[in-house]
Chains A and B, each alone.
Chain A
Amino acid sequence: MRDASAPDLVQVDGLKMYFPVYSGVLRRHSGDIKAVDDVSFTIRAGETLGLVGESGCGKSTLGRAMLRLYDPTAGRVVIDGEDIARLSPEALRKKRPTMQMVFQDPQASLNPRMSLSSIIGEPLVEHTALTTAQRQDRIYELMDQVGLNRRFANRFPHEFSGGQRQRIGIARALALNPKFIVCDEPIAALDVSIQAQVVNLLEDLQDKLGLTYLFISHDLSMVRHIADRVAVMYLGRIVELSPRDDLYARPLHPYAEALLSAVNEPNPERARTRSRILLKGDLPSPANPPKGCNFCTRCPKVFDRCLTEKPALVQVEPGRKVACHLFQTLKPTAGSTGGFHTQDDFQQGVTL
């Protein structure tokens, strides 16, 4: 972990993002799609938090709700001391430079009718009072930073390859010197060889500029490479939040275990002997999640309590939080969290 004592830059508290469903002749409000359901976590300054989970589990929605591209239903998102979820539009606009986003599809995230320099320069036009010449200098500087040739400045997005386009997207996100960047599957649409380049670029920039990332991905090996801590999401809830090495060495939550067993093993000797945990059934609908634990319909270790009671995300080992009844055999009481992995020291990250 880069710096265990660094203060929290981002603090998400009970964040809920429900999309209302209207049905019937009168279009009455008949339910909600619970895309993100009561999610809490923190990200320290300079840290990379990986967010993994299968398609449709709410990863991207969480990332977008955190930057208030959607208006969250409930909860707080404190970034650098201010609650994003409650800022007025004008205050939010002023706050925008602190937090930026890199998008999944580099083709769709660049306006095809704008030249590269006007794309990278757009945030500068919106938020700074630079003269045209100063702005052009800053654009060149950003292009150097992400490894784009300055001579590309007047070209249009369709003239670039996927990796180059993603670099343009990163340059745009960097333009206003943000502290926090949400990377929404930035490598999912790229070739494997380009993926490594882009991830290394993100890491270099983090070292140089002290950025904090929320790295959303479904590529578990890439998350292992870049993240300091990893949150595993299932059906709108975080089921496990652990330091990277602990999670990959010994996942606690049954879902995390199943997910990690799907990672490809490059060594064929070991690949032959590895055991995959195959989950049965489909992801339940987020409009109608199970009454108890969200994972109880597919969990190989399900027991009675799972069907009736939602497990809370509690700390079961130093720095590791799990939402599973298996680890909460003792009823959690106020002030302490029970479990058979309980240790005396709850201080987050001390032994890491």
Chain B
Amino acid sequence: MSEQSTAIPKAQSQFGAVWRQFRVHRGAVFGLIVLGLLAAFVIFGPLFWPEVKLRVVEALKVKNQGPSLRFPFGTDQLGRDMMVRMMAAGKVSLAVGFVAMIIAIFVGTGIGILAGYFKRLDGPLMRMTDLFLSLPLIPLLLVLVMLFRDTIASVLGPELGAFLLIVFAIGITSWMQAARIVRGEVLALKEREYVLAAKSIGVPARRVILRHILPNIISPVMVAATLGVAEAIITESVLSFLGLGFPPDFPTWGRLLFDGLQYIQLYPERVIWPGLAISLTVLSVNYIGDGLRDALDPRIRGR
């Protein structure tokens, strides 16, 4: 026995096991690489491809150009370098997408868990969710932005102010789906015998939630989160299009998409670049979510 007991394998670290399984998922690795390249493009791109200030006359000469060596992505109707604009836009769009998604998922998961686990909170919280779902989104955002834009802008400056306001507005209006999905899952999970077993051991509610419920609702949350990123990027562009998001000269992928829409028949590449960037982001985030979900599940990891 002493021979045997010395041969007990050490507990391998959770992180190592998750990473090993994640690498097996080809789509997830592809997604991670693509998202990494996109992030590098928007963060480090401007260092290697600085914006060239042109005088008005020069700018007029180079407007509406197709892709060339000087302007790899072409220029827009005002002669601005599309590549520079794509980089600047991507930084904002990615930030808005991820931060808004994180806010929405945190609020949604929190409310969903509270409503599902504590019977007394179920009624009030879910009626509140219904209330938010029934609010017309765009008018609500309009009012929100109108009321608070100037106040926040005066404190934090126009760009950071607009960023915070938009992220907050999108986050606060898109958590409802996640809350409903999570509540349903929790309602089913809390009747499982292992939750009952934890209660019979005397585990307090917060640790039952953290240890037994949260890890087991990870897959629907992951799906909601990956879809949330795409939705947030698009919603931001809608807001900017309506003149309520960022200032007009401040590029985001959604904004570039809408600007390019007017010229789609003459210069389709102006729609294709931002469209491609948004699609690639959404696709890679989806695959990463898929891979993470599999990697976090010991039943799949063991195979």
Q: Write the residues of chain A forming the contact surface with B, with a CB cutoff of 8 angstroms.
A: 64, 67, 69, 92-94, 96-97, 99-101, 103-105, 108-115, 117, 122-123, 126-127, 140, 150-151, 153-154, 156, 158-159, 169, 172, 176
Contact = CB atoms under 8 A, between A and B. Distances in A.
A108 B7 CA distance: 31
Given A67-B200, A112-B299, A159-B302, A151 B7 contact: yes
A100 B302 contact: no
Interface stretch (B96-104, B190-198, B228-236, B284-292): B190-198
B200 A96 contact: yes
B241 to A, nearest CB: 43
B50 interface: no
Contact of B193 (A100, A103, A150): A103
7 contacts: A97-B202, A100-B201, A105-B193, A122-B203, A150-B5, A158-B299, A169-B197
B68 interface: no
A113 B200 contact: no
Given A103-B196, A109-B194, A154 B12 contact: yes
B13 to A, nearest CB: 11
A96 B215 CA distance: 25
Given A93-B204, A151-B7, A101 B197 contact: yes
A120 B4 CA distance: 21
What's the dominant secondary structure at chain B's contact region?
Answer: helix
Contact of B197 (A94, A109, A140): A109
Nearest to B7: A151
Contacts of A69: 196, 199-200
A126 B299 CA distance: 26
Interface of B: 4-5, 7-9, 11-12, 192-194, 196-204, 207, 211-212, 215-216, 296-299, 302
B209 to A, nearest CB: 13
Contacts of B201: 96, 100, 122-123, 126-127, 172, 176
Contacts of B298: 112-113, 115, 156, 158
Given A101-B197, A113-B298, A108 B216 contact: no
B4 A150 contact: yes
Contacts of A113: 215-216, 296-298
B123 to A, nearest CB: 11
A202 to B, nearest CB: 17
B202 A112 contact: no
B11 A115 contact: yes
B296 to A, nearest CB: 8
Contacts of B199: 69
Nearest to B301: A156
Contacts of B198: 111, 122
Contacts of B302: 156, 158-159
A103 B216 contact: no
Contacts of A140: 5
Contacts of B193: 103-105, 108-109
Given A69-B199, A93-B202, A156-B299, A110 B194 contact: yes
A21 to B, nearest CB: 16
Contacts of B197: 101, 103, 109, 169, 172
A126 B216 CA distance: 20
Given A101-B197, A111-B198, A126-B207, 8 more contacts: A108-B192, A109-B197, A111-B212, A113-B296, A140-B5, A151-B4, A151-B7, A158-B302
A189 to B, nearest CB: 11
Contacts of A97: 202
A150 B8 contact: yes
A154 B299 contact: no
Contacts of A93: 202, 204
Contacts of B194: 108-111
A101 B198 CA distance: 10
Contacts of A176: 201
B1 to A, nearest CB: 9
A91 B294 CA distance: 41
A111 B8 contact: no
Q: Which 10 pairs across A and B sit closest by C-beta, in order of nearness?
A: A96-B202, A109-B193, A156-B298, A93-B202, A108-B193, A111-B194, A113-B215, A123-B201, A103-B193, A158-B299
A153 B215 contact: no
Contacts of B192: 108
Contacts of A126: 201-203, 207
A127 B200 CA distance: 12
Nearest to A117: B11
Contact of A154 (B11, B200, B296): B11
A105 B196 CA distance: 12
A305 B117 CA distance: 47
B18 to A, nearest CB: 12
A151 B202 contact: no
A122 to B, nearest CB: 6
A105 B194 CA distance: 10
A232 to B, nearest CB: 25
Contacts of B5: 140, 150
Nearest to B212: A111
A63 B9 CA distance: 38
Contacts of A99: 200
B300 to A, nearest CB: 10
A117 B7 CA distance: 16
A123 B197 CA distance: 10
A91 B216 CA distance: 30
Contacts of B212: 111
Nearest to B192: A108
A205 B5 CA distance: 23
A94 B201 CA distance: 10
B70 to A, nearest CB: 55
